[in-house]
Amino acid sequence: GVDQCIQRFLDVARQTECFFLQKRLQLSVQKPEQVIKEDVSELRNELQRKEALIQKHLGKLRHWQQVLEDISVQHKKPTEMPQGPLAYLEQASANIPAPMKQT
């Protein structure tokens, strides 16, 4: 049944893995420089991947630093605005665009 097929598949997978591990062992004995080249290549690829990840995070960091700086500048502006009961209305009306002239 299904259980037997799954068990057979797992057995064949183990045998295949064992075969490739034996070939890898033979290769490491016959040509150790090849294994070292593969390891160096894998390490280079990992370094490139990590470098790209670092650059991505630095970009995000710069973006959020700019956002925080913009917020900081915005919070400083209201303190420079005139104080008083109508200060809020003056500030709000300053953001309304002027009406366009009709011709």
How many distinct structural domains can be found in the chain?
1
Reported pTM:
0.49
Cα distances (Å, whole numbers) of residue 91 to 53, 76, 79, 99? 43, 14, 11, 18
Nearest 10 degrees: CA dihedral of 40, 41, 47, 51? 150
pLDDT tens-digit profile of 42-88? 999 999 999 999 999 999 999 999 999 998 888 776 555 556 666 66
In the prediction, which pLDDT does 56 show? 97
| Within a domain: 85 | no
* Average confidence (pLDDT) over 21-44: 92
| Within-domain flag for 49 | yes
pLDDT at 29 over 60: yes
84 belongs to a structural domain: no
Please check whether residue 68 lies inside any domain of the structure.
yes
